[in-house]
Amino acid sequence: MKKLLCFLSCCAAIASYAQPRLPENYYWQKLDNGLQVVVIENHKVPLATIEIAVKNGAYTEGPEYSGLSHLFEHMFFKANKDYPNQEVFLRRIQELGAIFNGTTGFEQVNYFFTFDKDSLNAGLKFMNAAVRYPIYREEDMQKERPVVDGEFQRNESDPGFQLWYDVNKRMWGDLFTRKNPIGDHMIINTATPEKMMIIKNKYYLPNNSILVVSGDVKHEDVFGMAKDIYGSWESSGFNPQEKYPIPEFKPLEKTDYHIIESSIAQTPYMMLQWEGPDFRKDSADMLAADVFSSILGLNSSKWQQALIDKGLATYAGVSYQDSRYVGPVQLFILPNPAKMKECYDEMMKQIAQWSNDDYFTDEQLATAKETIRRNDIRAKEKPSSLPMQLSAEWCSTSLAYYTDYISNIQKVTRADIQRYINQYIKGKPFVAGRILNADMSKQYKPAEYFKN
């Protein structure tokens, strides 16, 4: 029995470090501290891109931290142990000839540098200093808080964002901050260095991060450098998603309609949103959601013909957001102001038909899959963009999902799509929002029909 237990224990240890499925010329290694390293060999141009991605973002933020993952991203490019102020930091970037940036999303924060391949070792050390040894100086935060809040204010000048914000606030309720990367004005403007350190200590850990290097590099060299430079980064010894669990998003109980009047809405917008599948529970329906959205985007689709070709709207798109924690299905329409009621009536009529056997043809199904395949090829043409594509799926799905995505898309059937529609859309509650200016509201009276 002891031998059997020992054998099973060894198998479990090997399985935890088992090589994930990856595309050709992608190489994976896991350091002893839990940091995953992926190297993408692509020798088109003599450049290298280094990216660090962390499982952090809006979904980790309660109300008291709303928007601080985004502020943390901005502070990443400030002072650290090796570069004690931003001027020295930026001078080093200039010396490396690097292009740099970062992004904050729903379930990911990432940072990347692109430079000449000969600067690979120096670039890895530069990234290491920034991610492991930041210094949050109050003077830097005083400068950066209004920059981050300014992004929020610019977004608020867009009626589409105002509508998105309102719909999602109603959709997620008390957990809205966990679906809102842009944050909260007050929280952003009162953030402290202490809160930055709390975020770092919770999530900026090797066992909660992935290092991706892409470009004109050799994977053996990168793995050796990564071990030398990042191997001493101490593991937390715990899984942050387990120690700081994400609350479950509650199923939407009833349909909710709302109209916003805004002077900046010179063009009316309309939005519907459902709670869709998530990776933990239903990765198959995530694929079906993507294919169906692609079908609806075809010029030949009944959806486009009914709304665009007949002049009821200038845009009518449906999308699904890959998520580990409940991905939203979003419908966004720019209706013809003079035909808003007709547009709404036709939209609801079409939605009611989505699960019908004859709503799309076999040819449209095949074309939609081919469209996704071609878009995937196009997206992967630029070597410096590959790390971000991979890390986004690592954070929200898995490396295997990323690798098998196109082959699994080809396997989606009509029955899969109908199951997805019946499970998440047909007869299910949703949040509906509309934004327009007061004159349009008075003239076209949407409140008379845009309601429960």
pTM listed for this prediction: 0.93
Buried b / exposed e over 405-415, threshold 16 CB at 10 Å, is beebbeebeee
What residues form DSSP beta bridges with 436? 261
pLDDT of res. 419: 98
- What's the pLDDT at 18? 79
Residue 5 has pLDDT above 50, yes or no: no
Q: Give the whole-angstrom CA distance, residue 16 versus residue 19.
A: 9
Q: What is the average per-residue pLDDT within 301-320?
A: 98
Look at the alpha carbons of 299, 300, 303, 304 in this order and tell me if their dihedral is positive or negative.
positive
- Three-class secondary structure of residue 376 per DSSP: helix
- Listed residue (313, 271, 311) closest to 159, CA to CA: 271
Burial bucket for residue 277 (CB in 10 Å: 0-12, 13-18, 19+): buried
- Pair 47, 384: CB distance under 8 Å: yes
Q: What is the pLDDT of residue 11?
A: 41
What would the pLDDT profile of 332-346 be if each residue is shown by its tens digit?
999 999 999 999 999
Task: Check whether 196 has a pLDDT greater than 80.
Answer: yes
Specify which residues 63 forms β-bridges with: none
Strand 36-41 relative to strand 209-215: parallel, antiparallel, unpaired?
parallel
Mean pLDDT of the 268-295 span: 97
Q: How far apart are CA 195 and CA 177, in angstroms?
A: 16
Decide if pLDDT at 15 tops 80.
no
Both tokens of 115, joined, read: 């430079």
Supply φ then ψ for residue 434, to 5 degrees.
-145, 140
Per-residue pLDDT of 130-168, as tens digits, reads: 999 999 999 999 999 999 999 999 999 999 999 999 999
Residue at 147: amino acid letter = V
Element holding 349 (H helix, E strand): helix 340-353
Go through the domains of the chain in sequence order and give each one's CATH number.
22-243 (3.30.830.10), 256-448 (3.30.830.10)
Of residues 126, 95, 99, the one with CA closest to residue 113? 99
Confidence of residue 212 (pLDDT cuts 50, 70, 90): very high
pLDDT at 30: 98
| Spatial distance between the Cα atoms of 395 and 112, rounded to a whole number of angstroms | 16
Read off the tokens for 275. Answer: 């709670």
Q: Are 121 and 225 in contact (CB under 8 A)?
A: yes
d(CA 148, CA 278): 29
pLDDT at 6 over 90: no
* Cα 67 to Cα 153: distance, rounded to the nearest angstrom: 13
pLDDT digits (tens, 9 = 90+) for 74-92: 999 999 999 999 999 999 9
Specify the pLDDT at position 321.
95
| Mean pLDDT, residues 259-264 taken together | 96
The amino acid that residue 275 corresponds to is: E
Q: Does the pLDDT value for residue 216 go beyond 60?
A: yes
- pLDDT range class, residue 17, cuts 50, 70, 90: low
Nearest-angstrom CA–CA distance, 430 and 350: 16
DSSP result, 138-200: HHHHHHHHHHHHHHHHHHHTSHHHHHHHHHHHHHHGGGGGGG-TT--HHHHHT--HHHHHHHH
Pairwise CA distance, residues 295 & 95, whole Å: 48
What is the rounded distance in angstroms from the CA atom of residue 379 to the CA atom of residue 144?
32
> What is the predicted pLDDT for the residue at 386?
97
Stretch 282-300: mean pLDDT, rounded? Answer: 98
DSSP for 198-223?
HHHHHH-SGGGEEEEEEES--HHHHH
Average pLDDT, rounded, for the chain: 95
Model pLDDT for residues 383-438, shown as the tens digit of each residue: 999 999 999 999 999 999 999 999 999 999 999 999 999 999 999 999 999 999 99
